[in-house]
Homo-oligomer: A and B are copies of this chain.
Amino acid sequence: MSGARAVERIPPCSARAVELERGDELIVIDPEGQQVSDLVAFSRDDLDEYLSSGRSIDYASKLWLSTGDLLYSNRSRPMLAIVEDSCGRHDFTLTPCSKDTFAILYGETEGRPGCEGNLAQALAPYGIGVDRIPIAFNVFMHVSVDADTGRIAVLPPRSRPGDSIRLRAEMPLVVAMTACSAGQSNNFRYKPIDFGIERLGKP
Protein backbone atom coordinates (compact mmCIF):
# COMPACT_ATOMS: atom_id res chain seq x y z
CA MET A 1 0.00 0.00 0.00
CA SER A 2 1.35 3.40 -0.96
CA GLY A 3 2.09 5.75 1.92
CA ALA A 4 0.96 8.69 -0.18
CA ARG A 5 -2.61 7.46 -0.22
CA ALA A 6 -4.97 8.95 2.35
CA VAL A 7 -7.11 6.38 4.11
CA GLU A 8 -10.70 7.30 4.86
CA ARG A 9 -13.00 5.58 7.31
CA ILE A 10 -16.56 4.40 6.80
CA PRO A 11 -18.10 4.35 10.30
CA PRO A 12 -19.95 1.21 11.46
CA CYS A 13 -23.37 0.70 9.81
CA SER A 14 -22.97 3.38 7.14
CA ALA A 15 -21.98 3.79 3.48
CA ARG A 16 -19.96 6.06 1.18
CA ALA A 17 -20.09 6.74 -2.53
CA VAL A 18 -16.99 7.70 -4.53
CA GLU A 19 -16.24 8.41 -8.18
CA LEU A 20 -13.40 6.68 -10.01
CA GLU A 21 -11.77 7.40 -13.33
CA ARG A 22 -10.75 4.50 -15.52
CA GLY A 23 -7.43 3.29 -14.13
CA ASP A 24 -7.98 4.53 -10.58
CA GLU A 25 -7.46 1.92 -7.89
CA LEU A 26 -9.76 1.53 -4.90
CA ILE A 27 -8.39 -0.29 -1.87
CA VAL A 28 -10.97 -1.60 0.61
CA ILE A 29 -9.45 -2.41 3.99
CA ASP A 30 -10.81 -4.30 6.99
CA PRO A 31 -9.00 -2.44 9.79
CA GLU A 32 -10.10 -4.63 12.71
CA GLY A 33 -10.78 -7.95 10.96
CA GLN A 34 -14.03 -9.92 10.39
CA GLN A 35 -15.98 -7.04 8.88
CA VAL A 36 -17.86 -6.97 5.57
CA SER A 37 -18.22 -4.20 2.98
CA ASP A 38 -21.07 -4.47 0.46
CA LEU A 39 -19.86 -2.83 -2.75
CA VAL A 40 -21.96 -1.83 -5.78
CA ALA A 41 -20.92 0.05 -8.92
CA PHE A 42 -22.54 1.99 -11.74
CA SER A 43 -21.10 3.31 -14.97
CA ARG A 44 -20.67 7.04 -14.41
CA ASP A 45 -21.45 7.70 -18.08
CA ASP A 46 -24.76 5.81 -17.97
CA LEU A 47 -26.09 4.88 -14.56
CA ASP A 48 -28.35 2.20 -16.09
CA GLU A 49 -25.21 0.08 -16.43
CA TYR A 50 -24.50 -1.61 -13.10
CA LEU A 51 -22.40 -4.30 -11.48
CA SER A 52 -23.81 -7.75 -12.30
CA SER A 53 -23.04 -10.74 -10.10
CA GLY A 54 -24.76 -13.05 -12.59
CA ARG A 55 -22.54 -11.94 -15.48
CA SER A 56 -19.37 -11.97 -13.37
CA ILE A 57 -19.97 -15.46 -11.96
CA ASP A 58 -20.82 -16.79 -15.41
CA TYR A 59 -17.67 -15.40 -17.06
CA ALA A 60 -15.37 -16.47 -14.22
CA SER A 61 -17.09 -19.87 -13.88
CA LYS A 62 -16.84 -19.53 -10.10
CA LEU A 63 -18.83 -18.05 -7.24
CA TRP A 64 -15.88 -16.58 -5.37
CA LEU A 65 -13.72 -14.06 -7.17
CA SER A 66 -10.20 -12.99 -6.22
CA THR A 67 -6.94 -11.69 -7.69
CA GLY A 68 -6.99 -11.67 -11.49
CA ASP A 69 -10.77 -11.83 -11.80
CA LEU A 70 -13.01 -9.23 -13.44
CA LEU A 71 -16.28 -7.82 -12.17
CA TYR A 72 -18.64 -7.28 -15.12
CA SER A 73 -21.61 -5.01 -15.73
CA ASN A 74 -25.07 -6.09 -16.84
CA ARG A 75 -23.87 -5.08 -20.33
CA SER A 76 -21.01 -7.60 -20.13
CA ARG A 77 -18.30 -4.95 -19.92
CA PRO A 78 -15.54 -5.14 -17.29
CA MET A 79 -16.18 -2.61 -14.51
CA LEU A 80 -13.53 -3.55 -11.95
CA ALA A 81 -10.46 -5.81 -11.94
CA ILE A 82 -9.23 -7.41 -8.71
CA VAL A 83 -5.51 -6.66 -8.73
CA GLU A 84 -4.63 -7.62 -5.14
CA ASP A 85 -6.50 -9.54 -2.47
CA SER A 86 -4.98 -10.53 0.86
CA CYS A 87 -8.20 -12.14 2.13
CA GLY A 88 -9.31 -14.27 -0.81
CA ARG A 89 -12.92 -14.91 0.13
CA HIS A 90 -15.85 -12.68 -0.76
CA ASP A 91 -19.51 -13.32 -1.56
CA PHE A 92 -21.34 -12.35 -4.75
CA THR A 93 -24.71 -14.09 -4.32
CA LEU A 94 -26.61 -12.10 -1.68
CA THR A 95 -28.38 -8.76 -1.77
CA PRO A 96 -27.35 -6.16 0.81
CA CYS A 97 -28.97 -6.55 4.21
CA SER A 98 -32.04 -4.36 4.71
CA LYS A 99 -34.70 -3.64 7.29
CA ASP A 100 -36.72 -6.45 5.69
CA THR A 101 -33.77 -8.84 5.93
CA PHE A 102 -33.48 -8.09 9.61
CA ALA A 103 -37.23 -8.60 10.11
CA ILE A 104 -37.49 -11.82 8.06
CA LEU A 105 -34.26 -13.52 9.13
CA TYR A 106 -33.76 -12.21 12.66
CA GLY A 107 -37.15 -10.90 13.81
CA GLU A 108 -35.71 -7.42 14.28
CA THR A 109 -38.29 -4.64 14.38
CA GLU A 110 -36.08 -1.58 14.90
CA GLY A 111 -36.20 -0.68 11.22
CA ARG A 112 -32.43 -0.24 10.80
CA PRO A 113 -31.74 0.66 7.14
CA GLY A 114 -29.07 -2.02 6.67
CA CYS A 115 -26.54 -1.90 3.86
CA GLU A 116 -29.33 -1.53 1.29
CA GLY A 117 -30.71 1.61 2.91
CA ASN A 118 -27.23 3.00 3.53
CA LEU A 119 -26.18 2.37 -0.10
CA ALA A 120 -29.37 4.05 -1.35
CA GLN A 121 -28.69 7.08 0.84
CA ALA A 122 -25.10 7.31 -0.44
CA LEU A 123 -26.32 7.00 -4.03
CA ALA A 124 -29.26 9.42 -3.70
CA PRO A 125 -27.19 12.32 -5.14
CA TYR A 126 -26.92 10.26 -8.34
CA GLY A 127 -30.66 9.65 -8.54
CA ILE A 128 -30.22 5.92 -7.82
CA GLY A 129 -33.07 4.71 -5.64
CA VAL A 130 -33.31 1.67 -3.42
CA ASP A 131 -34.97 -0.49 -6.12
CA ARG A 132 -31.82 -0.22 -8.22
CA ILE A 133 -29.39 -1.55 -5.58
CA PRO A 134 -28.27 -4.86 -7.12
CA ILE A 135 -26.65 -7.90 -5.57
CA ALA A 136 -23.45 -6.46 -4.12
CA PHE A 137 -19.89 -7.67 -4.32
CA ASN A 138 -19.78 -8.46 -0.62
CA VAL A 139 -16.14 -7.83 0.20
CA PHE A 140 -14.80 -10.12 2.97
CA MET A 141 -18.22 -11.82 3.34
CA HIS A 142 -17.79 -15.54 3.93
CA VAL A 143 -20.63 -17.68 2.62
CA SER A 144 -20.17 -21.43 2.46
CA VAL A 145 -22.12 -23.72 0.13
CA ASP A 146 -22.99 -27.39 0.56
CA ALA A 147 -22.31 -28.88 -2.88
CA ASP A 148 -24.92 -31.61 -2.41
CA THR A 149 -27.87 -29.62 -1.08
CA GLY A 150 -27.03 -26.05 -2.09
CA ARG A 151 -27.51 -24.99 1.51
CA ILE A 152 -25.55 -21.83 2.33
CA ALA A 153 -24.23 -20.51 5.63
CA VAL A 154 -23.03 -17.03 6.46
CA LEU A 155 -19.84 -17.49 8.49
CA PRO A 156 -17.51 -15.00 10.19
CA PRO A 157 -15.27 -13.38 7.57
CA ARG A 158 -11.80 -14.80 7.04
CA SER A 159 -10.34 -11.29 6.98
CA ARG A 160 -7.75 -10.43 9.60
CA PRO A 161 -6.98 -6.88 10.77
CA GLY A 162 -5.48 -4.96 7.86
CA ASP A 163 -6.58 -7.34 5.13
CA SER A 164 -7.48 -5.55 1.92
CA ILE A 165 -8.61 -5.92 -1.66
CA ARG A 166 -7.45 -3.64 -4.50
CA LEU A 167 -9.83 -2.99 -7.38
CA ARG A 168 -8.90 -1.18 -10.59
CA ALA A 169 -11.66 0.75 -12.33
CA GLU A 170 -12.02 -0.42 -15.94
CA MET A 171 -14.40 2.44 -16.81
CA PRO A 172 -15.46 5.70 -15.12
CA LEU A 173 -17.52 4.57 -12.14
CA VAL A 174 -19.69 5.56 -9.25
CA VAL A 175 -18.93 3.06 -6.49
CA ALA A 176 -20.74 2.80 -3.18
CA MET A 177 -19.59 0.64 -0.27
CA THR A 178 -20.62 0.00 3.30
CA ALA A 179 -19.43 -1.04 6.70
CA CYS A 180 -21.97 -3.84 7.00
CA SER A 181 -24.89 -3.69 9.41
CA ALA A 182 -25.70 -7.42 9.54
CA GLY A 183 -24.51 -9.17 12.69
CA GLN A 184 -24.43 -12.55 10.99
CA SER A 185 -21.88 -11.36 8.41
CA ASN A 186 -19.45 -9.75 10.81
CA ASN A 187 -19.66 -12.09 13.78
CA PHE A 188 -21.94 -9.63 15.62
CA ARG A 189 -19.26 -6.99 16.05
CA TYR A 190 -20.21 -3.95 14.00
CA LYS A 191 -16.99 -2.36 12.88
CA PRO A 192 -15.75 0.28 10.45
CA ILE A 193 -14.29 -0.22 6.97
CA ASP A 194 -11.39 1.83 5.62
CA PHE A 195 -10.65 2.68 2.03
CA GLY A 196 -8.17 4.55 -0.09
CA ILE A 197 -8.08 5.62 -3.72
CA GLU A 198 -4.97 5.80 -5.85
CA ARG A 199 -5.71 8.29 -8.60
CA LEU A 200 -3.79 6.54 -11.36
CA GLY A 201 -6.40 7.16 -14.06
CA LYS A 202 -6.71 10.13 -16.34
CA PRO A 203 -9.86 12.25 -15.96
Interface residues of A (CB under 8 A from B): 48-49, 52-55, 57-59, 61-64, 74-76, 93-95, 98, 100-101, 104-105, 131, 133-135, 144-147, 149-153
Contacts and interface: CB of A to CB of B under 8 A. Distances in A.
B95 A63 contact: no
A63 B53 CA distance: 14
A152 B62 contact: yes
B150 A58 contact: no
* Top 5 closest pairs, chain A to chain B, by CB: A54-B95, A76-B100, A64-B150, A63-B150, A54-B135
Contacts of A149: 62, 64
Nearest to A151: B62
A62 B150 contact: yes
How many protomers of this protein does the assembly include? 2
Nearest to A73: B131
A58 B94 contact: yes
Nearest to A129: B48
A88 to B, nearest CB: 11
A101 B58 contact: yes
25 contacts: A52-B95, A53-B54, A53-B93, A54-B95, A54-B134, A54-B135, A57-B93, A57-B94, A58-B95, A58-B101, A58-B105, A61-B151, A61-B152, A62-B149, A62-B150, A62-B151, A63-B145, A63-B150, A74-B95, A74-B131, A74-B133, A75-B100, A76-B98, A144-B147, A145-B147
Nearest to A66: B150
A101 B76 contact: yes
A105 B53 contact: no
Contact of A135 (B61, B135, B150): B135
A98 B147 CA distance: 27
Contacts of A64: 149-150
